Amino acid sequence: MTTRSAIARWGLNSPPKRCDCCHMEWRDEGIILGTRRHGETSAILEVMTRAHGRHLGLVRGGRSRRMQPLLQAGNRVELTWRARLDEHLGLFHAEALDLNAARLFDSATAVFGLQTLAAHLRLLPERDPHARLYGALEIVLSHLDDAGAAAELLVRFELMLLDELGFGLDLSRCAATGKSEDLAYVSPKSGRAVSRSAGAPWQDRLLLLPAFLKRGSGLHGTGAEIDAAFRLTGFFLSRHVYEPRGMTEPEARAGFLSAFGRSTLPSGENAA
């Protein structure tokens, strides 16, 4: 018997068989947002995927010791999803790409940041693709264990989220003068930037625009500027998203800001 005939006989070069009841299938990469138990041995996996948006699926044996390290929030995985019909929950098969969870769980800023990102992404309709947000999520995850970088990236993520939800802010030029120089405020009514001179008479009614958020500034934010940036995005998230949906700001967001604040304290004060 030749090698080729042996391979053919044993089916070693044949594609793996799959259940005939599964007619829908796609492959994509995704970042795990969370899991919840399903029955005694399985888990429902929630992921943000590059091409298929936020998606859920059943992982058989997902609660096993072998699978639990893989199915941790923050890990990037290669996914295969199968279902009989597109509207069904379906089955996930996941393989590791980047196991970020172990690195992130050592930092309070990273843990709260990851939880905040997951809460933000749950504001999106399930299975609605948002490739820009997925790319931004990858970048934020890679810096979550650096408190300063994480804070700047997370607030930019919130600006992008507002834009993806249809409530984007216009921080490019002054709403009153049309000029792009010396932008210092944001109108709470229009969500548009206002220059320092044009906003001076109403500065107590306007939101601060931190310099590092201006397009192309190349600046890093101070602790006070980062706090102001989160007040800015928080205001518009509350007005346009949380309040209309009868929701409140996720607790993880406040936890992230508290952990970030502690990280900026001198080492002696932080320890105290």
Task: Give long-range contacts, CB 8 A cutoff, 24+ apart: 105-108.
Answer: 106/145, 107/144, 107/145, 107/147, 108/255, 108/259, 108/262
Question: Greatest CA span in the chain, whole angstroms?
Answer: 92
Could you tell me where the beta strands, DSSP code E, fall in 71-219? 76-83, 91-98, 183-186, 193-195, 207-208
Q: In terms of CATH architecture, what is 24-99?
A: Beta Barrel (2.40)
Instruction: Give 42's strand partners.
Output: 38
Mean pLDDT over residues 36-61, rounded? Answer: 96
DSSP 8-state symbol, 75: -
Q: What is the pLDDT of residue 22?
A: 53
Q: What is the pLDDT of residue 214?
A: 87
Asked if pLDDT for residue 241 goes beyond 60, the answer is yes
Binning pLDDT at 50, 70 and 90, where does residue 270 land? low
Q: What is the pLDDT of residue 23?
A: 77
The predicted-structure confidence for 45-55, as pLDDT tens digits, reads as follows 999 999 999 99
Q: How far apart are CA 103 and CA 61, in angstroms?
A: 25
Asked if pLDDT for residue 239 goes beyond 70, the answer is yes
Q: What is the pLDDT of residue 268?
A: 53
The pTM assigned to this predicted structure is 0.88
Q: Where are the domains of the chain?
A: 24-99, 108-171+209-265
Give the list of residues 6+ apart from residue 87 with CB closer than 8 angstroms, or none: none
Q: How far apart are CA 29 and CA 51, in angstroms?
A: 8
